[in-house]
Amino acid sequence: MKNTGVGQGALTVAPIQHTSNASIVTATADSLPDQPDALVRARAFAEPLIASEMLDTGENILAHADAVAAILKTIGGSEAMQAATYLVHACAHLNKPQEVIAKAFGANFAALAMETTKLVNVQKQARAADAKAQLTEDPAAQTENVRKMLLAFSRDLRVVMLRLASRLQTLRHFAAIRQQAPLAVARESLHVFAPLANRLGIWQIKWEMEDLAFRFLEPDTYKQIARLLDEKRTEREGFMESLRAQLERDLNSGGTAALVQGRPKHIYSIVKKMRGKSLDFEQVFDIRALRVIAADVKGCYAALGFVHANFTPVEGEFDDYIAKPKSNGYQSLHTVVRDAQQRAVEIQIRTQAMHDHAEHGVAAHWAYKEAGAKGYSGVSASSEYDAKIAVLRQLLAWERDLSGPASAKARESNQGLFEDRIYVLTPDAAVVELPQGATALDFAYCVHTSLGHRCRGARLDGAMVPLNTPLQNGQTVEVVTTKEGGPSRDWLNPELGFLASHRAKSKVRAWFNAQAMAQTVARGRDAVEKLLQREGKTAMKLEDVAAQLGFKSAEDLFEVVGKDELSLRTIENMLKPPEPALTQDDYVLAKKARPDKSAGRSSKGAVLVVGIDSLLTQLAKCCKPAPPDAILGFVTKGKGVSIHRSDCSNFRNMAGGSPDRVIEVEWSQPKNSGGAVYPVDVAIEAADRQGLLRDISEVFAKEKMNVIGVQTQSVKDNRGGTAWMTFTVEVTESGRLNQVLAVVAEVAGVRSARRR
């Protein structure tokens, strides 16, 4: 990297060198079909749309696209990949971009353009969200950006290549016009894009992006280091070239075949070392650095022996990453030595294969597709799928790196930033994000609800496993399904560990609820249809019956009837012709003298009618009120006042049709009730089993509650069978009933026990 005009902060960017990266990008663009003159056609297609348009950075869009295409070309991008650059920028200026581009260039180009556009929009939103909470080297601030980048990359291997080239051009643009880049763009470039380029092996983009972004973030520090590098450049370069040539001659003449190269110096990496190790500029060893490329591993150690024999090793500055590679597969020998004048020189020693892996990272998997079954360093990538696997694992390693220096809160809890989720692959190499502890069954429900319902088995990396096997990062999951079927209730048992995802659990519950609802609706339909037959109203449409009762559909009516929330008596009353409004004479007919002469007391001596003396009262059978229930009266023709619970649906329907018949009533004082008892209905739903009726009856007997009637119904279902029971019991007051129902609910198999 050559710097000129340091005092003014000017920067001259060296062109990206054409290296073996050529095969890298070509491989990622394999799925773009070659078309005659694709690049020329794409530029001609986009030019009328974008030639006069500007990006929000102030750069002309066509000029930007030209520059991005040039960057892709220098790193070996195919013409198809370069053509896609223009189509991406054309998307925003088309009404139906996917359809138009697909028609002109094919579905593959259209998909790439749309996916890249989506990623651009996501990143804009992320930058807007980070405007106040600035993105720094705090890993927590990078989490969502990394995750979104990962998922976008997994959908199409070419998307991030286009984004990296586009971001590099944006930084070059601001450097060329000598204006400050937006801080959000510079931070995102330094902490998201550059690490991604590094992980993908696009090392040349990585270092240039780092230096440019750092220049905008810390211009004073950047200029200071650039000035220090310039001050003794001629002297240093002369010394290093002499040392390089001498070391190469000595190694080869001594029988160790080797190539010795100089290493570039990057301002950002120098600053990181100075800050990380609290060093002065002159103490940074890799200001003077060489790289030795040996023929094989044996040659690496031979070269190391020669270097240590002819120079003075610096204590504590030797690392053997060949014997003990880094977690991402990096291998090399690192040492720092001093010459006779005590000038420190850093030397790296590696084989060509090690060097390619170090330079290109995951991308080397594509570069070495033709290396055969074993590939290099035991790694091969014979297909795009294998390449995706390699990319995924490197990006997951990136996540783990971010998790390492986590925030203080995360360190206290011993949890990394990404420990709450995992990433696995479909058989088509698409990435699926799941919570930590997720199983193959969670995976199936994440892909599609129907796939989850029909899931019966799973393969992890080709091996059959139980459905409750927890998944690990990077595994390939294949689901085995049946054509039809539904989930098992065991899947909701937390002790069996089939599901970890709340989303998957809710889908299973929804399936069972739908099945239970279907049975409830069927039961309600059957009851309503039988009632219409008894009343001779079979000619009435079920939808009309529901509408007259205030329901939106017949299904809604069947549901409440099936749940016993609406009495059939209500429907029966609705079917009868309306009665004429009551007159004062009707009230007189309802009066009845009381033997005890007590005004307002009913025949049972428990209900007082407010405002009218000596009216005959009777407790309604539809809701069976009992003290201290809130009650209301309804004047009937010739049968006195019918007493209902105030929440009785039957009463609400009657009162809605004849509000003038509603009358206020209240319970008499307990001392006047004469120890009266009241029949109430209790509805119980339970898993059907032998002895169920006996066990529930014993509870009522033990609680000294008299049972005067029982109705039962049992239905076989996928749970083994469900029993619905209605007990009619006598109580002196309803509060006591709630206590007894709590005991009934504890009986084995009982799912619900409530008063009807």
**Predicted confidence band of residue 376 (pLDDT cuts 50, 70, 90):** very low
Same domain, 166 and 198: yes
Domain harbouring 450, CATH code: 3.10.20.30
Is 411 part of any domain? no
> Does pLDDT of 292 surpass 90?
yes
For residues 329 and 457, state if they share a domain.
Answer: no
What pLDDT does residue 194 have? Answer: 85
Q: Is residue 451 part of a domain?
A: yes
What does the alpha-carbon distance between residue 609 and residue 213 come to, in Å, rounded to a whole number? 86
Task: Note whether 606 and 632 are within 8 A (CB).
Answer: no
To the nearest whole percent, how much of the chain has pLDDT over 70? 73
Q: 407 pLDDT exceeds 50?
A: no
Residues recorded for the chain: 756
Residue 687 CB partners (closer than 8 Å, separation 6+): 719, 720, 721, 722, 723, 749, 751
Of residues 587 and 107, more confidently modeled: 107
SS3 label, residue 284: coil
Domain stop point among 217, 242, 264: 217
Pairing of strands 344-351, 289-294: parallel
Q: Does the N-terminal peptide bond of residue 33 adopt cis geometry, omega within 30 degrees of 0? A: no
This prediction has a pTM of 0.49
Q: Do residues 84 and 154 both lie within one domain?
A: yes
What is the mean predicted confidence (pLDDT) over 575-589? 55
**DSSP per-residue codes, 330-347:** ---EEEEEE-TT--EEEE
Contacts of 231 (CB under 8 A, 6+ apart): none
The answer on pLDDT for 688 being more than 60 is yes
Q: Which of 353, 368, 383 is the last residue of a domain?
A: 368
End residue of a domain, out of 162, 188, 217:
217
Same domain, 19 and 142: yes
Count helices and strands (H / E) in the chain.
29, 21
Residue 386 lies in a domain: no
Please determine, for residue 402, whether its predicted confidence score (pLDDT) is greater than 60. no
Assess if residue 388 is contained within a domain. Answer: no
| pLDDT at res. 238 | 80
Instruction: Kindly state the percentage of the chain with pLDDT values over 90.
Output: 19
Is 80 exceeded by the pLDDT of residue 410?
A: no
Measured CA to CA, the distance from residue 452 to residue 270 in angstroms comes to 52
Query: Which domain CATH number covers 61?
Result: 1.10.3210.10
The secondary structure element, H or E, covering residue 101 is helix 97-105
> Do 168 and 243 have their domain in common?
no
At 672 the pLDDT is 46
Whether the predicted pLDDT of 171 surpasses 90: yes
What value does the CA radius of gyration of the chain take, rounded to a whole number of Å?
40
Q: What are phi and psi for residue 619, nearest 5 degrees? A: -80, 130
Residues whose CB falls within 8 Å of the CB of residue 475, separated by 6 or more in sequence, listed in order: 424, 425, 460, 461
Select the more confidently predicted residue: 137 or 391.
391
Mean pLDDT of the 314-337 span: 86
If you search the block for the tokens 């110096």, which residue do you land on?
265
3-state secondary structure 490-530: HHHCCCCCCCCCHHHHHHHHHHHHHHHHHHHHHHHHHHHHH
Instruction: Tell me the CATH number at 704.
Output: 3.30.70.260
Tell whether 713 and 600 lie within a shared domain: no
In a domain, 49, yes or no: yes
Q: Please report, as a single letter, which amino acid is at residue 707.
A: V
| Closest to 433 measured CA to CA, from 392, 462, 481, 400 | 392
Instruction: Please list, in sequence order, all residues whose beta carbon lies within 8 angstroms of the beta carbon of residue 428, skipping any fewer than 6 positions away.
Output: none
Q: Which pLDDT value is given to residue 397?
A: 54
Examine the domain organization and report whether 299 and 195 are in the same domain.
no
Residues 57 and 183 in one domain: yes
Nearest to 419 by CA among 475, 500, 477, 473: 473
For residue 87, CA distances in Å to 50, 65, 70, 109, 299 come to 10, 9, 15, 8, 49
- 258 and 352, same domain (yes or no): yes
**Residue 58 is encoded by which pair of tokens?**
């102030």
The answer to the question of residue 385 being in a domain is no
More confident residue, 693 or 403: 693
Which residues lie across from 641 on neighbouring strands?
617, 635
Q: Is the pLDDT of residue 718 over 70?
A: no
Q: How confident is the model at residue 132 (pLDDT cuts 50, 70, 90)?
A: very low
592-633 pLDDT tens trace: 434 443 433 343 446 777 656 557 888 888 888 888 888 999
d(CA 417, CA 675): 68
Compute the average pLDDT of residues 368-388: 40
Q: What rounded mean pLDDT belongs to the chain? A: 76
Across-strand partners of 731? 678
Most confident by average pLDDT, 227-231, 320-324, 553-557: 320-324
Whether residue 684 sits in one domain with residue 661:
no
496 lies in the same domain as 361: no
Q: Name the residue with higher pLDDT: 534 or 400.
A: 534
Residue 204 lies in a domain: yes
Q: What is the DSSP string of 392-425?
A: HHHHHHHHHHHHTT--HHHHHTT--TTTTEEEEE
Lowest-confidence segment of 208-222, 354-368, 472-486, 608-622 by average pLDDT: 354-368
Could you tell me which residue, 384 or 493, shows the higher pLDDT?
493
Domain total in the chain: 6
CB count in 10 Å sphere of residue 265: 18
162 versus 296: the higher-pLDDT residue is: 296
The domain in which residue 94 lies consists of 6-217
Enumerate residues 6+ apart whose C-beta is below 8 A from 191.
Answer: 135, 136, 137, 141, 142, 145
Question: Which residue type, as a one-letter code, is found at position 403?
Answer: S
With left for phi above 0 and alpha for psi between -120 and 50, is residue 721 left, alpha or beta? left
pLDDT tens for 110-127 read 887 887 787 777 666 655
- Among the listed ranges 96-110, 359-373, 539-553, 608-622, which one has the minimum average pLDDT value? 359-373
DSSP-assigned states of every residue in 454-497: TEEEEEETTEEE-TTPBP-TT-BEEEEE-SS----GGGG-TTTT
pLDDT at position 20: 35
Read off the CATH number of the domain in which 304 is found: 3.30.460.10
Structure tokens at 354: 């090690």
Residue 30 pLDDT exceeds 60: no
Indicate whether 383 belongs to any domain.
Answer: no
Average pLDDT score over residue span 140-149:
49
* Residue 275 CB coordination number (10 Å): 10
Comparing CA positions, the residue from 364, 375, 333, 373 lying closest to residue 351 is: 333
* 163 and 304 both lie in a single domain: no
Q: Angle CA(82)–CA(84)–CA(88) in degrees, nearest 5?
A: 130
Residue 266's pLDDT is 81
**Is the pLDDT confidence value at 293 over 50?**
yes
